[in-house]
Structure 1
């Protein structure tokens, strides 16, 4: 399930340009609320908030299972990430943290990065050693982005935000334990209407390519590696000139998993849809930046 959850998060989703291109108005914030379903059944809700201040960004997210899934597992989680944007280059993460809870266990990951390199990782409790776990090499921790920052996809320089070329990219993701590539390619362009957004979206096909840290003999790993039924719908965000997932679809071993945006608000959050308050817990995991 960790692999499937990671895939859902990281999907949600060349060249150089001046730093000024990535700058956005002071205090601009994008808030997106998602409904989570699995095999067509409601599974839970997630809320993501991404703030942009000049070249800097900060992201916070909370997810919670609902209904029967909540009764059976008590599942919920929260995450945060921060870093900088520079033109059409991938985000430069500086910190990432995530904590997941069920009714009978909890795990947290804290990671600090510098210039695209992982400098520090703390996983509590540590992952159990397994004979089929592919070792993570030092090179696998360079030129990477954390799973949350990977959702921010800067537009290709000189291209419009909805140019199909914006789909064609590879996201080099490291989640603290495993290194993977998420390879995107253009499928089609659609027009959508929802609370807070109406307009075109890019539909990108996605492929999961494990590099290291994964368990090579697990059926779930092999299934995801061969999985050709994954996609992400990207909506434009004008200020920082980037694209952000409106919908993420991943076929799992038990059915199609989807994150579908139900509310989208930019800047002042003007929307007729009610603001969903995420449940807070007594403990909040904090990311650790590397000086």
Structure 2
């Protein structure tokens, strides 16, 4: 699940005019629920909530394995992030924390970031030293975003939200222990329907590029470096003019992992925004390619 989230980043924004609009417009909250599958089998669920007020944003997410995966591992996690949006630059992360739990252990990561530079990191319990772990240099902690903030992708100032050029970006991510790039490139445009959203999405190919903090000799690391079967579907969020993942697909060593939205809700300060089309909550994404 960590690789799925990192590869996404994954999961850019609009210029001065759009920023002024975001600063003076009403507060908005985007809530997205995801179904997580692996090799076609249900694995768990995740819920993400992103609130925008002026240039500031706050995000929180919860993920939980279900069924047999829950029985075997007890896996669940919670994460939070906050920061500011500034034109079409990457989000400026301020804080990030994540708690991951299994049936027999727990790890907490807390991180503070200032102007793109990692100021403080706490990992409890600390990672065990490994001879193949690539050292993290001071330069690797500059000009980065945290894994949650990386999911907010501001649209380019000169482009509309669904312009294919918005796919073409490199996202520099630091998760408290490792530094990586997620490189996105345009693949196609589709029209999709999920409960709460009906419209176009950008389908971006994704590549995982480890920089430091990873274990270079692990088979999983090498597999992900060579992995060309990763993609993210980005849906537009008009108010703050960001793109946000509707679906993430990552080929793993045991099959395709997917995180697919089952519910999409954009609410203003007063009431939930009406969906463009009423649909059953258990209906999967329907998509067609925009020619």
TM-score by length of 1: 0.90
Give the unaligned 5+ runs of structure 2. 282-291
Q: Does the CA contact (< 8 Å) of 2:4 and 2:249 recur in 1?
A: no
1:88–1:32 Cα change, 3 Å: same
Deviation at 1:6, TM superposition (A): 4.4
RMSD after superposition: 1.9
Indicate whether 1:191 and 2:201 are aligned: no
1:66-115 CA distance string (max 9 Å, x none): 00100111100000000000111100000000000000000010000000
In the alignment, which residue of structure 1 is the partner of 2:289? none
Deviation at 1:57, TM superposition (A): 0.1
In the alignment, which residue of structure 1 is the partner of 2:284? none
1:230-264 CA distance string (max 9 Å, x none): 00000000000110000000000000000000000
Deviation at 1:14, TM superposition (A): 7.5
Instruction: Give the count of matched residue pairs.
Output: 274
- In structure 2, what is the Cα distance between the partners aligned to 1:274 and 1:108? 37
Tell me the secondary structure at the aligned position of residue 80 of structure 1: strand
Q: Does the CA contact (< 8 Å) of 1:87 and 1:157 recur in 2?
A: yes
In the alignment, which residue of structure 2 is the partner of 1:236? 236
- In structure 1, what is the Cα distance between the partners aligned to 2:168 and 2:66? 35
1:168-217 CA distance string (max 9 Å, x none): 00000000000000000000000001100000000000000000000000
Aligned pairs for 1:1-291 within 5 A:
2=2, 4-7=3-6, 10-13=8-11, 17-18=15-16, 19-23=19-23, 25-267=25-267, 268-269=271-272, 270=274
Q: Does the CA contact (< 8 Å) of 2:11 and 2:147 recur in 1?
A: no
The ranges of structure 1 where at least 4 consecutive aligned residues each deviate by more than 4 angstroms after the TM superposition are 270-275
Tell me the secondary structure at the aligned position of residue 160 of structure 2: coil
Tell me the secondary structure at the aligned position of residue 26 of structure 2: strand
Tell me the secondary structure at the aligned position of residue 133 of structure 1: coil
Q: Does the CA contact (< 8 Å) of 2:195 and 2:280 recur in 1?
A: no
- In structure 1, what is the Cα distance between the partners aligned to 2:263 and 2:24? 22
- In structure 1, what is the Cα distance between the partners aligned to 2:170 and 2:4? 19
In the alignment, which residue of structure 2 is the partner of 1:288? none
1:70–1:16 Cα change, 3 Å: closer
Deviation at 1:16, TM superposition (A): 8.1
In the alignment, which residue of structure 2 is the partner of 1:283? none
Deviation at 1:164, TM superposition (A): 0.1
1:160–1:84 Cα change, 3 Å: same
Deviation at 1:15, TM superposition (A): 9.5
1:16–1:151 Cα change, 3 Å: closer
